């Protein structure tokens, strides 16, 4: 029987990515940044990503039934009412020769379908969640003409009953709030802002309020007469002006005195939470369901997601690992597969994220040959490896851990991770020094599935991808202080038995220490994406103060001079 392939692409000006479905199942998904090493793949088409997906499966474009794009760029440009000058920038994104160059992929091109952005986001969640029917929330900076969409996935169909326009974008609000503090830079570092919020008191009035009519910014001057394109600039200027006029310390960008913005960050964070609680309250009223899926860039805000879970409005919450625009490549492919073949969801829910490129021990050993004067290494069998690494962790060593295919999405989940012992705050200090991160930022825990409820609040089966914050239980905080944030929360990752090698490592650490938790942060250098290849891993290991590198079954150490 001939296999059926559908390609999904995000071809946008950031977060470009490629996905491949085989008979309706996701067999490959990779972000362009992992190959180009250009974080967020700014300005890049997903050429390397698509090439990898095809090569991995041993096919070419001629084997694909169709390509699905996670944005309708033509519709978007029309809605934006772009000038001729503005079109020079935006109209070129959806030029086929840009993202399907013939010198790489050949002359043949399968039919290309353009899926609306928020539908693609929604499909990336509900069609992978394993749920039957579900309430759907998409919240991001902006799609073609909306910034938030509320709806339902029912009997395979995704539909929205409410859309919030771009002039009322929560993504724009949160980005500008982050910019006010000076934290918002080239890589849109809103995660830093979220971490800072935990240190403050929400005592400032924000110009955003919940509103069932979608007028979230009704306390700001009206911009409805401007085009969408121009209104984004106007709204951004209004927000920054409001913050400078009304919010301590009344001036923007003093990042050297970042703690002066703690109350401001807490106020912006609470405002975001209040609006999203109102959104899911309306979703509950309209749908009456217990299942909720969330996607879009705002879905990466684990503090908000923790509040949504603790509201008790929905028992089951699924947020895919690729909630940002990169994930629309997966969602677009899944949505197109449903439209062409009627498959409403994948056969198995997605609980593991290691969909990216993997490398053999032979490839690793070949790469290591160039470093034989400064590195030593040994190959171990899996029965010994986990106990050796667990013992080193228990001695306070920092271990870089590279296993199998790299993770989908921005968070390390045991495939490209830097690990440490959670029993001392010194682990947090060392990890933040290694990562060149601000010392006030938290480190996440990975926890064995059967011990989740002993250590954390909330539901374990919502926590596969480190997307939902939970409180660390009082009696456990002193056991794992390195992963307890100032507000007593953490963003735990549930490690299930199917995540075989990582599960074995945590089990070995449990036997060694009595603790079923390890510190887990992403394996990368500041300003770079997660490592992809053995060479990326070795270079990062050499440049930072990491004690041990483990690539699949190979343990690597530095030769001390």
Would you kindly state where each structural domain of the chain is located, as residue ranges?
5-126+325-341, 168-318, 361-558
Tokens encoding 256: 């050297």
Phi first, then psi: give them for residue 26, nearest 5 degrees.
-75, 115
CATH 3.30.750.24 correct for 361-558: no
- Torsion on CA atoms 162, 165, 168, 171, rounded to nearest 10: 90
CATH superfamily, domain at 5-126+325-341: ATPase, nucleotide binding domain (3.30.420.40)
Q: What is the rounded distance in angstroms from the CA atom of residue 257 to the CA atom of residue 263?
A: 13
| pTM for the structure as a whole | 0.97
Report the interhelical angle of 73-80 vs 228-246 (nearest 10°): 70
User: For strand 316-318 and strand 291-295, is the pairing parallel, antiparallel, or unpaired?
Assistant: parallel
Q: What is the rounded distance in angstroms from the CA atom of residue 49 to the CA atom of residue 10?
A: 10
Residue 278: burial class (beta carbons within 10 Å; 0-12, 13-18, 19+):
middle
Distances (CA, A) of 135 to 131, 154, 312, 316, 463: 10, 9, 14, 10, 18
Residue-level pLDDT at 84:
87
Residue-level pLDDT at 1:
65
Phi first, then psi: give them for residue 346, nearest 5 degrees.
-70, 160
Could you tell me if 204 and 247 are in contact, meaning their C-beta atoms sit under 8 angstroms apart?
Answer: yes
DSSP string of 161-195, one letter each residue: EEEEEGGG-HHHHHHHHHHHHT---TT--HHHHHH
Residue with tokens 């171990």: 380
Assign 3-state DSSP to the chain and report helix, strand, coil percentages, each to 5: 40, 20, 40
The kind and range of the H/E element at 543 are: helix 534-543
Q: Which segments in the chain show pLDDT lower than 50?
A: none
Distances (CA, A) of 497 to 295, 432, 501, 505: 26, 29, 9, 11
SS3 category, 26: strand
What's the mean pLDDT when you consider all of the chain? 96
Residue-level pLDDT at 90:
87
Q: Do domains 5-126+325-341 and 168-318 have the same CATH topology?
A: yes
Question: Which pairs with CB-CB distance under 8 Å and at least 24 residues apart come from 494-500?
Answer: 494/447, 494/449, 494/452, 494/460, 494/461, 494/463, 494/464, 495/414, 495/446, 495/447, 495/448, 495/449, 496/351, 496/352, 496/449, 496/464, 497/449, 498/351, 498/352, 499/352, 499/354, 499/413, 499/414
Phi first, then psi: give them for residue 121, nearest 5 degrees.
-60, -50
CATH 3.30.420.40 correct for 168-318: yes
């Amino acid at each position: 029987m001939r296999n059926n392939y559908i390609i999904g692409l995000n071809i946008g000006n950031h977060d470009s990515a490629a996905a491949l479905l085989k008979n309706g199942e996701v067999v490959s998904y990779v972000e362009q940044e992992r190959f180009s090493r250009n974080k967020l793949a700014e300005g890049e088409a997903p050429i390397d990503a698509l090439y990898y997906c095809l090569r991995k499966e041993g096919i070419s474009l001629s084997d694909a039934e169709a390509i699905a794009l996670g944005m309708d760029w033509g519709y978007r440009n029309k809605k934006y009412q772009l000038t001729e000058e503005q079109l020079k920038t935006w109209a070129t994104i959806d030029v086929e020769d840009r993202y399907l160059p013939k010198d790489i992929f050949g002359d043949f091109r399968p039919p290309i379908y353009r899926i609306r952005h928020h539908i693609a986001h929604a499909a990336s969640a509900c069609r992978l969640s394993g749920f039957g029917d579900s309430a759907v929330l998409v919240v991001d900076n902006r799609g073609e003409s909306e910034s938030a969409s509320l709806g339902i996935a029912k009997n395979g169909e995704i539909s929205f009953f409410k859309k919030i326009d771009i002039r009322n974008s929560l993504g724009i609000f949160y980005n500008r709030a982050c910019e006010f503090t000076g934290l918002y830079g080239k890589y849109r570092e809103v995660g830093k802002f979220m971490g800072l919020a935990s240190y403050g008191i929400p005592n400032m009035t924000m110009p955003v309020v919940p509103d069932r009519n979608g007028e979230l910014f009704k306390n700001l001057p009206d911009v409805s007469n401007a085009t969408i394109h121009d209104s984004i600039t106007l709204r951004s200027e209004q927000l920054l002006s409001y913050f400078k006029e009304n919010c301590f310390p009344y001036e923007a960008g003093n990042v050297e005195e970042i703690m002066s913005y703690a109350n401001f960050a807490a106020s912006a964070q609470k405002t975001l939470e209040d609006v999203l609680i109102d959104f899911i309250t309306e979703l509950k009223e309209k749908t009456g369901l217990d299942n909720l899926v969330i996607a879009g860039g705002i879905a990466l805000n684990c503090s908000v997601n923790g509040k949504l879970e603790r509201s008790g409005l929905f028992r089951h919450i699924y947020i895919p690992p690729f909630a940002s625009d990169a994930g629309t490549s997966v969602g677009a492919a899944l949505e197109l597969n449903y439209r062409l073949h009627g498959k409403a969801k994948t056969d198995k829910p997605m609980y593991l994220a290691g969909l990216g490129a993997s490398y053999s021990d032979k490839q690793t050993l070949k790469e290591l040959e160039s470093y034989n004067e400064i590195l030593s290494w040994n190959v171990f069998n899996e029965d010994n490896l986990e106990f050796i690494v667990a013992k080193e962790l228990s001695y306070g060593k920092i271990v870089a851990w590279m296993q199998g295919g790299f993770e989908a999405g921005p968070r390390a989940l045991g495939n490209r991770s830097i690990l440490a012992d959670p029993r001392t705050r010194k682990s947090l200090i060392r990890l933040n020094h290694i990562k060149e991160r601000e010392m006030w930022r938290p480190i996440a825990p990975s926890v064995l599935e059967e011990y989740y409820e002993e250590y954390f609040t909330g539901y374990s089966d919502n926590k596969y991808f480190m997307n939902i914050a939970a409180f660390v239980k009082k009696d456990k905080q002193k056991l794992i202080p390195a992963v307890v944030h100032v507000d007593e929360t953490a963003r735990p990752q549930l490690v299930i038995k199917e995540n075989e090698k990582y599960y074995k490592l945590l089990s070995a650490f449990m036997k060694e220490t009595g603790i079923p938790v390890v510190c887990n942060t992403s394996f990368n250098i500041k300003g770079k994406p997660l490592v992809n290849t053995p060479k990326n891993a070795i270079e990062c290991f050499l440049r930072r103060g990491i004690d041990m590198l483990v690539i699949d079954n190979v343990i690597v150490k530095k030769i001390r001079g």
